[in-house]
Structure 1
Amino acid sequence: MKLPFSKMHGIGNDFVMVDCRAQPFALSEAQIRDIADRHTGVGFDQLISIEPPRDPSCAFYYGIWNADGSPSGQCGNGVRCVAAWLHRAGELAVGDTVRVESPSGPVTVRLSGPSEVTVDMGVPSFDPALVPFAANAEADAYAIDVGGEMLEIGSVSMGNPHAVVVVPDLHAPSLFHLGPLLTTHERFTEGANTGFVQAMGRDYLRLRVHERGSGWTQACGTGACAAMAVLRRRGEVDERVRVELPGGTLTIEWAGPGHTLWMTGPAAFVFEGEWLDSSPAR
């Protein structure tokens, strides 16, 4: 099996992009894991397929798979790469605005430059049942026991579930232990992306994210949106915030509850390649 692909990244959050416009996506979970291996495969945080839309109001559909082969509902850095990929494929011109369909539903993207994309990420959902997160009632913060340590977290869905923890120091050794535990915590019935956020001011946040299915990443677009949304809802940040992640910086804009949230950032091509599947049939 030979599989052409594009390797891309959004501020270090890296992707294998697969063109499925003319043929259906047919990779198994085992094949996805093989491609994701950074020693014997290509390596990625997520694999993204570009497909015909299911929703007639959208121009394209994109599927998302984590490095462990599990599906994902949304990926903020990934959708920017989708827009840049469509531009290179001749499907989207600079200045165009188009609706594309994610596994969690339609999103609107605007290509402001060949490698600069603004995305309407939808309205953040704080309803615990929709995250999903086990809680008796919706709240700005929840107390949760993580490995014997009590943490205060925010919980929000950006098309995928997020836990947000405000910390004074992003390099505290305890975070590397707490991140995986919170990502797989039983109160997040489908797992969660865990974001540790340090507020540097009302318009500037620093963030590290442990993603379900992928682990610690250089960047997480929905994580940046989730961190801003949780702090904005609490009145702790302004309407427009820079979010600095290990791989780079995103701009997040949100007027508040009831409004859609916008994310702006870069998307970059790394190389084109062809994966040769020489593994036994599984």
Structure 2
Amino acid sequence: MKFTKMHGAGNDYVYVDLFREELPVDAPELARQVSDRHTAIGSDGLILIQPSDKADARMRMFNADGSEAEMCGNGLRCVAKYVYDHDIARKEELTLETGAGLLTVQVFPEEGRVKQVRVNMGQPILESKQIPTTLAGDPPVEADLPVGDQTLKVTCVSMGNPHCITFVDKLSDEWVHGVGPQVEKHATFPNRVNAEFIEVISPTELNMRVWERGSGETMACGTGACAVAVAGVLSGRCERKVTIHLLGGDLELEWSEETGEVFMTGPAVEVYSGEWTGGNS
């Protein structure tokens, strides 16, 4: 099976082009196999690029533990780059089918290859039951979330997948690796949740680290960055246009006051291609 390794702001996945390839095993098992960073390719998970009867291509995303997620913003940008660069659909505005619905993507090619991608991520989901969470509020803003021996003030948003955002004075490993796993599996989130921890630099600039559902800490999370931009506005901490600094690079976010849609702009990078022959070959 041929594959391509790509990343968006350091959020890396193994991509398989199902226009041309077939999977050797089922997708959850393949995700677990290829994601191991010591014995395999190494990635945050697996993304499949498939034909669609509704769009230019369909994206399916599987976390490193084999669980399927609805969406991945960084992954979506890479899918757009792949679709353009590999001649699946050679146009600068693409429609991609995801678990969170149809999304419109604008690519910015240079010398025939895409470098930057702007995604219309749609409107955030703010109803608690649809996020989903049992916390009160539509959405919960600065809601109390007991975790261990402390109570966090959290804001919850869905961008097609669930996010729980905590604003902190100073980012640290203890927040991400200590608190993050507890938030991910907290009983108030029936489908688990992505946990973002945010340090505010200014109303237009934020630092972010993320503990992703099913993958652990990743270098970046596009849907998470979108959710953070929304949470920052809802809690009065940031403006509607903001730069978010992640471990793997920067993303530009805008939550449109006119349409209510969230726009994300960031890089998409193809690292290398290869052939997967199985973990024991």
TM more than 0.5? yes
Deviation of the 1:234 alpha carbon: 2.5
1:157 equivalent to 2:158? Answer yes
- Is 1:274 aligned to 2:275, yes or no? yes
Map 1:246-265 to 2 at 5 A. Answer: 246-256=247-257, 259-265=260-266
Output one character per residue of 1:238-268: Cα deviation in whole Å (capped at 9) or x when no partner.
1210000011000001124851100000000
Q: Does 1:12 align with 2:10?
A: yes
Q: How many residues align?
A: 275
How many angstroms apart in 2 are the aligned matches of 1:195 and 1:257?
Answer: 26
Write the mapping of 1:183-198 to structure 2, written as runs, cut at 5 A: 183-198=184-199
**Aligned match for 2:93, one of 93, 97, 102:** 97
User: What CA distance in whole angstroms lies between the structure 1 residues aligned with 2:89 and 2:116?
Assistant: 13
Partners of 1:216 and 1:188 lie apart in 2 by 18
1:70-149 mapped onto 2 (5 Å cutoff): 70-93=67-90, 96-113=92-109, 114-138=114-138, 139-149=140-150
* Cα deviation digits, residues 189-232 of structure 1 (max 9, x gap): 00111000111101101000000010001111111111111111
**How far does the alpha carbon of each residue in 1:259-282 deviate from its partner, in whole angstroms, 9 at most, with x for none?**
1100000000111011112559xx
Matched with 2:58 is 61
Distance across 1 between alignment mates of 2:224 and 2:270: 22
Alignment match, 1:40? 39
TM-score, reference length from structure 1: 0.92
* CA distance 1:85–1:166, shift in 2 (3 Å): same
Distance apart, 1:90 and its partner CA: 1.3
Secondary structure in structure 2 of the residue aligned to 1:205:
strand
- SS for the counterpart of 1:32 is helix
8 Å CA contact 1:25–1:49 kept in 2: the answer is no
**Residue 97 of structure 1, CA deviation:** 0.8
CA distance in 1, matches of 2:141, 2:187: 20
Unaligned runs of 5+ in 2: none
- What TM-score results when the alignment is normalised by the length of structure 2? 0.93
Matched residues, percent identical? 35
State the secondary structure of the residue aligned to 1:178: helix
Q: Measure, in 2, the Cα distance between the counterparts of 1:191 and 1:27.
A: 26
Q: Secondary structure at the match of 2:276?
A: strand
Q: Structure 1 regions of 5+ residues with no counterpart?
A: none
Show the counterpart of 2:25: 27
